[in-house]
Chain A
């Protein structure tokens, strides 16, 4: 296996709040890794540190064996694309032109035919072709979320950082978008994805590996069935649950009625 991302001793604080503590993690090539944890565990903070939206206090981030701290946003955006949960927009733009922004790191000023084709293909891949010339700011939350995912795909990075990519999507689209992300990571020679997600069952079904983030550290890392144990879930989320193997394929976590008192 080839290592694509290597994070060593990452620390980040918001003032007195020490969010990430000496965090270490690796992402391999063609790997889909999910990060789960409670609200405020530092999932988004971790992703933003990796994309240098936030500056870590300490620690090394290396990608393809290169130190990312010397990268400017332009060069970084050719390697990594961070997908926020949602974006606010005061100005109206066609969906096509929003997705076209994914090509911005690769072009000088002029759009080449290849760039247009990449955008068109991406829109078709995500079944957004009917939205291509609708106004981005007039779409629903879920539609907008799919569009900014499309923008990241058209950017063609080696590593995707998704922050809650399914949070605004309906049941069917949650599965569809994860399938498509999965396919992208599996098929393309050098792509990987790191996904912050709350839905444990979606994470369990689609991830190669799950990281359980707890109090700024990684409590457990491994295949879904290794990480999603009754004990781990009780410790991190403070809920009792049952873990089942579904169809012999993937595990499901079923939360029981009774909520255990935390601390």
Chain B
């Protein structure tokens, strides 16, 4: 075999190893996080035993793990992975590193839906916690429908998608602000709380449903790896000459990533930063090859989310800082440091 081919295989193995290590760290971090909390601290072994059903833990401990912490951590893992993958997909198919899952307006649609439920009490379901979720999801689906309609237009460019997304964000923002203007203090605080993003809302069954949906969509994302490589590195004409239909591929990828974003954000509220940062951090480790970037972003997203949530729960316990805030405050400067200190991102 040619020595260049050998080097390529060698590099691939190193990258795989790094992703594996990141995965293992994430698993340990998650176990550790499940043991931490204001009511009962457990070490990792004890937590693992409870999860595997090996230990005769007290009923209280078992309840705390199964009803409170396990759904929360699982939500962090699945939500972080889904948002990071959605971000990576959107950045790639739009050829733009500034894009995050919030760019296309899906999240602002969700915020509008939540505001309708909270402030006006208008919802597809009777008023409850689930009414907000249902509204947020429905409104973000409306945005997905707009994206599908855009994709059916002939020759719509990547930039047009972004600009329409920004317009949708402005429009929903204006309507939400108007509602806030007339809202009561209680409603305002509820709306603000929703927009911070939190992982504590869904119960175990909901988290399981979200997990199934997200894990079901992931293989489809992987299928488009080569198309994303061609699109992200060379643009439309280069992609066509590589055998990709850019318009169709872009539309399908955007629908998939918007769906993944909607599913998560309807339950957690606005969490955007992980979808921007995790793909870029992954690129620093393994480059822009989507066959590796998608799994790596998923793991990195999960890691960031669990890390930020655990910090938010324990730093000022018993006060819990919402994960969306924690991610931006801790992740933002870290992200800037990585970008500025890495030669690859400097021109």
Q: Which residues of A contact B (CB under 8 A)?
A: 48, 51-53, 72-78, 80-84, 87-94, 96-98, 101-102, 104-105, 107, 109, 113, 116-117, 119-121, 123-124, 129, 132-133, 135-136, 138, 148, 151-152, 155
Contact = CB atoms under 8 A, between A and B. Distances in A.
Given A82-B240, A93-B289, 9 more contacts: A51-B240, A52-B240, A75-B243, A87-B233, A91-B288, A104-B229, A107-B226, A109-B291, A120-B2
Interface of B: 1-5, 7-9, 11, 91-92, 95-97, 223, 225-226, 229-230, 232-238, 240-245, 283, 287-289, 291, 344
Contact of B226 (A51, A101, A135, A155): A101
A113 B122 CA distance: 59
Contact of B243 (A105, A120, A133, A148): A105
Contact of B283 (A77, A92, A102, A120): A92
B74 to A, nearest CB: 29
A55 to B, nearest CB: 10
Given A82-B241, A92-B287, A133 B11 contact: yes
A94 B5 contact: no
Contact of A133 (B7, B97, B226, B244): B7
Given A113-B1, A120-B2, A104 B9 contact: no
Nearest to B7: A133
Given A117-B2, A119-B5, A135-B344, A91 B243 contact: no
Contacts of B7: 132-133
B92 to A, nearest CB: 7
Given A87-B234, A90-B95, A90-B232, A51 B9 contact: no
B4 A136 contact: no
A88 B223 contact: no
Given A91-B97, A101-B226, A109-B226, A96 B4 contact: yes
A93 B293 CA distance: 11
Contacts of B291: 109
Given A92-B287, A94-B287, A97-B289, A73 B240 contact: yes
A216 to B, nearest CB: 21
Which label, helix, strand, loop or mixed, suits the secondary structure of the B interface?
helix
A89 B233 contact: yes
Contacts of A90: 95-97, 232
A73 B245 contact: yes
B229 A97 contact: yes
Given A53-B237, A92-B288, A104-B243, A109 B232 contact: no
A121 B2 CA distance: 8
Contacts of B235: 87-89
B269 to A, nearest CB: 30
Contacts of A96: 4, 8
Contacts of B244: 73-74, 104
A84 B237 contact: yes
Which 5 interchain pairs have the tightest Cβ spacing?
A77-B243, A120-B2, A120-B4, A116-B5, A105-B243
Contacts of A152: 241
15 contacts: A52-B240, A76-B243, A77-B243, A81-B241, A90-B232, A94-B11, A104-B226, A104-B229, A104-B230, A105-B243, A107-B226, A117-B5, A120-B4, A133-B7, A148-B238
Nearest to A102: B242
Contacts of A84: 237-238, 241
Nearest to B226: A104
Nearest to B245: A73
Given A90-B95, A91-B92, A120-B2, A98 B240 contact: no
Nearest to A135: B344
